Amino acid sequence: MDPGAPVAWRYAPGSGLLLGSGERWLLLADQPDESVIDDLWGALTDVGLAPALAVLERAYAGQVPDVAGRDGRSVECRGRGAVSAEGELSVGLPIEGPWLPLAGGIVAGAAARPVATDPVHGRRLIDGIPDEIATSVGPDVPERFRQPPAPEEHELDDVDTGPGVPGHPDRTAGSTTRRTPAGDHDGNTVARSGAVDHLRQPTHETVLAVFCARGHPTPAASTECRVCHDPVPPQEPRRIPRPRLGGLRLPGGEVVALDRSVVIGRRPAPVDDQGEWPHLVAVPAEASYVSRVHLHVQLDGWLVIVRDLGSRGGTTLRVPGHAPEAMRAQEAHVLEPGHALDLADEYEIVYDVTSEPVT
């Protein structure tokens, strides 16, 4: 395979553990405890292959099971682990199903291999999930392997960013961190069964709407258009598919369309499997105080609801004409046009109903 060619990954289901994304992948001939998996995921995706192997050395007291790992052109193997000349990872396990597409995450697998992709279909600006994942169908796997969990904030998330860093206040003093469960992020929603139902069964929520003279839909009780602010003439409300509720303007000028939920962070991942796959917005690496999975934006009827997911750097809500407000972890806030969200005092986004999204 041409080293410079764009690739996608496929995996064979099995009794081992496969995790990774991008150019970093690790295959293990065992399924360790969830706490070990969390540490392994954080080490591999945040730092690299060598720290991930160090996690395994500690967890297995030096008796590491068969392992095959790849980080770009660098490979590491233990026991029966092997990386072929074509880049295929194997650890001597039997394959228990067909080869399936995998964009990234944690699955129960026996082998993995890269395959060349069409260079025309590259990664989109905002979404971190390639098109292949929308067609992935596979056998049921254990609950914890269905999606990458929202990683627990631990020491690997705080490398060179803790107390004592010159020129930056201690953001962790007096605070605690928590993990956001992948299936019940706010204590009120329960994940559906089925490993990939959320990828193939999007919701189509409807809303009651009235229209201004320019044809913009707006909430039924409004007398002023939410987009152009023109008066809305008297009329009977109509039920319509929910329109795009504006967008989130990022510091670089990009606009994330609010046509579905949004997860923002250094390494964003879905935090539940309700409805459509969310927009995943990865902030720049220099915003080091932003957590890996920092902020969740959801749509409920006409409402845009935002929650800080227990981030270590915090989120500040800025409402024009009011003092800035520090959001509490998991507490829901309703955004209105013009409201701004400042993630860890490093990355500000603004809710806008007039800008066109980036496609």
Residue 197: CB atoms within 10 A of its CB come to: 12
The answer, yes or no, to whether residue 199 has pLDDT greater than 50, is no
Calculate mean pLDDT across residues 293-297: 94
CA distance 162 to 246: 36
CA distance 339 to 335: 6
Structure tokens at 73: 């052109």
- Report helix, strand or coil for 26: strand
pTM of the model: 0.47
* Contact by Cβ (8 Å): 109, 138: no
* Contact by Cβ (8 Å): 265, 315: no
Calculate mean pLDDT across residues 3-19: 80
User: Which domains, ranges and CATH numbers included, belong to the chain?
Assistant: 7-117 (no CATH), 206-241 (no CATH), 247-352 (2.60.200.20)
Instruction: Provide the pLDDT for residue 45.
Output: 85
pLDDT in tens, 50-85: 889 999 999 998 899 999 999 888 899 999 999 998
Tell me the average pLDDT of the chain.
76
